[in-house]
């Protein structure tokens, strides 16, 4: 093998770093800084101006609304007006309302209902008394309630004209007696708001005022805006937080909505504009920068490709050899020229292939020896079918001799053996498993020569459930071996029953034995075997087999109390 002189080796790491910095990072940083600076500067300048203009318009709207609220206070807080409302003098009250109406040019009408009587000053509405929203004001306490713009039909001589009005509404309360006198509505023409924000719409954008739930108050232009379109913008505003603007898409075009709250946050003033219009001033500059950037990137990419091809050629050679090794050819050899890391990598690769070849030969030899040993073990095994047939012969001989207890035990053992040697059958029904346990119990009664009680409560609908073979017998065996004691006064009682629990089937083996100590219980699924009679290997085997068949969520649960007894719970899916 060729030994590498590290002192004179040119570092591949340094070569790649120089190429990356020269052909990628530096041009990208320069381009990004220039583009970001120009783009951010103009966007910030325009956005700040647009946001400030919208905020100023919203402040002006607040000023008008607050002024109208103060005006409404002056009507029913005035002592003379309050007295006229209380006594219900129509002529004088309407004269008083007309004097208030004539004091302002931004009000379309004042409408009052006192003790069921309707009074007004200003435009005569066709709706009359229905203008006042009594249902909305009924549960109020005299605070101002602004309602969205609605169409009002005004009587002018013999004709009727339509006008869009928004309104201030409030309950009238006597400030001295706190008596509820009635309701008041002040209508304002929508043009009051339009005059404030018309300057925002001069650049071709759309401007509108709406409530937080999307109800229209006022809008620029004469064509009514779609409610769902407005609601979508308002939802996006509330979703993205307090940024003063949001970006969205409409009919494939990118738009920006600049907004500001007004009327104590109950209304929102929104200006929408196309991004292309908003950023028209930087399009030409952006295009020039992009063209220069593309040319620059093409040059750097070509250069980087040339150098990366030259630098990475050794790696491609090694990959080619690795594919040959992958196909099973361990006689390949990499000859990498140069004096850098690739030379060392090629040398390491050659060493690795040589070592793998040796390991493969060792594995082949080991497998050959293993197969020979397994063949010897197979020859040494007793044929289980021969044993099965022999036991049948002994059973018939015992019956002929009249040894029926021996015959019954052999029958049970034969049945156990029949299930045990059915190697191709891994799943059996719960009914078959219970039958296996019954045969096992018959043999154990002869073995222990003790009386114990075993009870089966298996619901009929679960008898055909498919379960892994031999999962109940090891649990019953533990109950017998661990619980039967010559000094025991109480008869051992084992109960096997089923019940559904959530989405699983539970099969429970319960006994009234000694219970399991905390020390054994803590390690019951960890130890290989406990020589003090309790067989954790059987429980481990059952638990692991259930998890192997059904997954980690299934298996064994153990509920035990020393001196009282133990429940071993099997959780499996209900599969037929």
Q: Tokens 């309104």 label which residue?
A: 167
CATH number belonging to domain 456-572: 3.30.565.10
Q: How many CB atoms lie within 10 A of CB 111?
A: 25
Q: What is the pLDDT along the chain (576 residues), one digit of tens a residue?
A: 444 444 434 555 566 657 666 766 677 777 778 777 777 777 777 778 888 889 999 999 999 999 999 999 888 788 888 888 878 778 888 898 999 999 988 899 999 998 888 988 988 887 778 889 998 998 888 899 999 988 888 887 778 888 899 999 999 887 777 888 889 999 999 999 999 998 887 666 889 999 988 888 998 877 778 888 888 888 888 887 777 888 888 888 888 889 999 988 889 999 988 877 766 666 777 777 778 777 877 777 777 777 777 777 777 777 887 888 878 787 787 776 767 777 777 788 888 888 888 888 877 776 776 555 444 444 434 344 445 555 665 666 666 666 666 666 677 676 666 666 554 567 899 999 998 898 888 878 776 666 789 999 999 999 999 998 888 988 998 888 877 765 667 888 999 999 999 999 999 999 998 888 888 888 787 644 443 444 445 787 788 888 888 888 999 999 999 889 999 999 999 998
Pairing of strands 565-572, 427-429: unpaired
> What whole-number distance in Å separates Cα of residue 76 and Cα of residue 186?
13
- Report the alpha-carbon angle 391-395-400, nearest 5: 150
Instruction: Give span(s): CATH 3.30.450.20, the chain.
Output: 78-189
Pairing of strands 453-457, 493-501: parallel
> What whole-number distance in Å separates Cα of residue 90 and Cα of residue 119?
7
> What whole-number distance in Å separates Cα of residue 468 and Cα of residue 426?
6
The sign of the torsion formed by the CA atoms of 177, 178, 184, 190 equals positive
Buried b (16+ CB within 10 A) or exposed e, 421-430: eeeeeeebeb
Residues whose CB falls within 8 Å of the CB of residue 98, separated by 6 or more in sequence, listed in order = 121, 122
> What whole-number distance in Å separates Cα of residue 524 and Cα of residue 536?
6
What are the strands, taking DSSP E only, across 477-554? Answer: 493-501, 504-511
> What whole-number distance in Å separates Cα of residue 65 and Cα of residue 57?
12
CATH topology of domain 78-189: Beta-Lactamase (3.30.450)
Q: What does residue 12 show for φ and ψ, rounded to 5 degrees?
A: -65, -35
Q: How far apart are the first and last CA of the chain?
A: 65
Instruction: Give span(s): CATH 3.30.565.10, the chain.
Output: 456-572
Residues whose CB falls within 8 Å of the CB of residue 229, separated by 6 or more in sequence, listed in order = 250
């Amino acid at each position: 093998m060729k030994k590498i002189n590290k002192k004179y080796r040119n570092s591949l790491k340094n070569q790649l770093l120089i190429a990356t910095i020269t052909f990628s990072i530096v041009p990208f940083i320069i381009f990004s800084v220039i583009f970001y600076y120009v783009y951010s500067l103009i966007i910030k300048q325009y956005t700040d101006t647009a946001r400030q203009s919208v905020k100023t318009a919203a402040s002006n709207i607040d000023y008008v609304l607050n002024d109208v609220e103060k005006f409404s206070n002056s009507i029913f807080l005035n002592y003379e007006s309050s007295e006229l409302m209380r006594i219900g003098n129509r002529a004088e009250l309407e004269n008083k309302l007309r004097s208030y109406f004539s004091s302002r040019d931004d009000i379309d009408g004042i409408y009052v209902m006192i003790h069921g009587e309707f009074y007004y000053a200003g435009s005569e509405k066709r709706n009359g008394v229905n203008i006042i929203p009594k249902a909305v004001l009924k549960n109020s306490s005299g605070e101002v309630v602004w309602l969205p713009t609605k169409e009002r039909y005004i009587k002018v001589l013999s004709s009727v004209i339509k006008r869009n009005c928004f309104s201030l509404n409030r309950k009238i309360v006597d400030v001295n007696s706190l008596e509820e006198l009635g309701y008041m509505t002040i209508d304002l023409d929508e043009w009051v708001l339009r005059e404030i924000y018309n300057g925002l719409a001069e650049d071709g954008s759309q401007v509108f005022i709406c409530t937080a739930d999307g109800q229209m108050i006022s809008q620029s232009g004469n064509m009514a805006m779609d409610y769902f379109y407005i609601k979508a913008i308002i939802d996006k505003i509330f979703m993205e937080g307090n940024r003063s603007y949001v970006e969205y898409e409409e009919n494939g075009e990118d738009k920006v909505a600049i907004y500001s709250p007004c009327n104590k946050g109950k209304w929102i003033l929104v200006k929408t504009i196309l991004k292309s219009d908003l950023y028209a001033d930087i399009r030409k500059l952006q295009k020039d920068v992009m063209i220069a950037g593309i040319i620059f990137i093409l040059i750097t990419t070509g250069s980087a490709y040339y150098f990366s091809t030259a630098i990475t050629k050794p790696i491609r050679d090694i990959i080619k050899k690795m594919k040959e090794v992958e196909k099973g050819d361990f006689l390949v050899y990499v000859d990498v020229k140069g004096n850098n890391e690739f030379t060392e990598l090629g040398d390491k690769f050659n060493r690795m292939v040589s070592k793998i070849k040796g390991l493969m030969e060792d594995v082949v030899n080991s497998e050959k020896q293993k197969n020979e040993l397994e063949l010897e073990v197979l020859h040494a095994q007793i044929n289980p079918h021969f044993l099965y047939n022999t036991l049948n012969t002994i059973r018939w001989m015992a019956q002929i001799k009249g040894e029926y207890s021996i015959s019954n035990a052999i029958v049970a053992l034969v049945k156990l053996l029949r299930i045990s040697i059915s190697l191709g059958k891994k799943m059996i029904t719960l009914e078959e498993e219970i039958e296996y346990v019954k045969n096992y119990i018959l043999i154990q009664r002869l073995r222990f020569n003790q009386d114990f009680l075993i009870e089966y409560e298996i619901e009929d609908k679960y008898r055909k459930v498919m379960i892994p073979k031999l999962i109940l017998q090891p649990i019953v065996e533990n109950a017998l071996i661990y619980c039967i004691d010559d000094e025991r006064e109480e008869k051992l009682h084992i109960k096997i029953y089923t019940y559904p629990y959530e989405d699983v089937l539970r099969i429970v083996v319960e006994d009234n034995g000694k219970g399991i100590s905390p020390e054994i219980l803590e390690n019951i699924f960890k130890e290989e075997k406990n020589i003090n009679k309790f067989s954790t290997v059987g429980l481990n085997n059952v638990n692991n087999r259930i998890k192997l068949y059904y997954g980690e969520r299934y298996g064994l649960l153990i509920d035990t109390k020393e001196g009282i007894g133990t429940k071993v719970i099997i959780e499996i899916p209900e599969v037929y």
